Amino acid sequence: MRRKERKNMVAFIGKVRRTEEFDFSMMTDEDIEHIYEKTYHVHETIE
């Protein structure tokens, strides 16, 4: 995963879940991607 892509995913997760970006600093790319996909799916279902 590219750095910019990861940064955008973390920003989206932080905005939707109201979480600090620092919370994701120790996670792997796979962890971030998994959380992003879950968050995006729930976000799209709600809207």
Banded model confidence at residue 47, pLDDT cuts 50, 70, 90: low
Give the global pTM: 0.80
Q: Which amino acid is at 36?
A: Y
11-36 pLDDT, tens digit per residue, is 999 999 888 777 888 899 999 999 99
27 alpha carbon, distance to own chain's centre: 11
